[in-house]
Amino acid sequence: MRKGGEGRARLLLVILIVTSLFLITLDLRGVKVIEGFKQGTQTVLSPFQRAGAVVLNPVKDFFSDVTHLGRTRGQIKKLEAENADLKIKLLNRKNADGQLQQLESILDLAGTAGYKIVNARVISHGSSQSFSQTITIDAGSNAGIKKNMTVLSQFGLAGVVKDVYPNSALIQLASDPAFKVGARIAGSQQIGILSGRGNRSASLQLLDNSTTVKVGDVLLARGSVANRPFVPGVPLGYVSQVDNSAGAVAQTATIRYYTNFSTLGVVAIVVSGPTSDPGDALVPQKPRVAPVPTVTVTVTPSPTASN
């Protein structure tokens, strides 16, 4: 390479590095122009994401189904018996039914607690390239959604609104490593902080070291000032493991979220919180064992014919 060309290349590299550092500085200082760029991009992208969600709807769960092949084998065998037309109809119908079921459960949850909600469909799952857990929904500021609102799934907390665009919103899932929520244990009212781990489990750190927690304890959201970002009483998950490490300042536990983040199809955004704290009203009921009917056989002696 010529000497002049080499110098130009170096100058170009330096300019690009300085520009990048300049962008990072602007963003960390909260300059609105950068946010505007991101908002504009998301506004342009959301119709494409919506179209993509519709087009890929029948096949988008393919990979997660493959990873759970053992569990879905029976279902696959059943589907193989049907013809191609029925398969497509069934897939679409199942999807609609699933979303309806999710929606019904969300409405039940919100109705019990007195939350005012806006429902939305998930139109995109964020890539994990940035080690974050996000989804995009098809409702935004035009539907009354604002930043830092609670997002519910049919089972409980799904996440929080991170960014809002006119017709879409970015949701930070509760599984995101940066996610934190104040939690209390139903019944004992012990409080702690729940942090996401990047998967369906989370870690709970209790604030009071004199209290104890046990496996199976149910966790609810403690709620925030003015109900944002979290409304009180939302079911979070249950204690799956208690970490009893000697010398720990506060007791910690592993929590299993009620929400399955990989199957989110419909979510609800709480636009207005309850007038009073619902307390433990939303604690999920434990599945009841159906009583087995006892069969009683009554034998009546029949009169025998006398000879």
Residues 181 and 192: their CA atoms lie apart, in Å, by: 9
Smaller CB distance to another protein: residue 130 or 307?
A: 130
Smaller CB distance to another protein: residue 115 or 165?
A: 165
Taking the complex as a whole, the smallest distance from the CB of residue 61 to another protein amounts, in Å, to 8
Taking the complex as a whole, the smallest distance from the CB of residue 220 to another protein amounts, in Å, to 23
Is 193:164 a contact under the CB 8 Å cutoff?
no
Measured between alpha carbons, how far apart are the two ends of the chain, in Å? 126
Taking the complex as a whole, the smallest distance from the CB of residue 14 to another protein amounts, in Å, to 10
Smaller CB distance to another protein: residue 96 or 178?
A: 178
Is 166:160 a contact under the CB 8 Å cutoff?
no
Q: Which residues bind another protein (CB under 8 A)?
A: 8-9, 12-13, 16-17, 19-28, 34, 37-38, 41-42, 45, 48-49, 51-53, 56, 60-64, 67, 124-132, 134, 136, 163, 170, 176-178, 196-199, 262
Smaller CB distance to another protein: residue 20 or 75?
A: 20
3-state secondary structure of 18: helix
Q: Could you give the dihedral angle defined by the CA atoms of residues 189, 191, 193 and 198, in that order, rounded to the nearest 10 degrees?
A: -20
Taking the complex as a whole, the smallest distance from the CB of residue 111 to another protein amounts, in Å, to 29
Residues 6+ apart with CB under 8 A from 305: none
Smaller CB distance to another protein: residue 19 or 112?
A: 19
Taking the complex as a whole, the smallest distance from the CB of residue 67 to another protein amounts, in Å, to 5
CA distances 241 to 21, 211, 216, Å, are 43, 16, 9
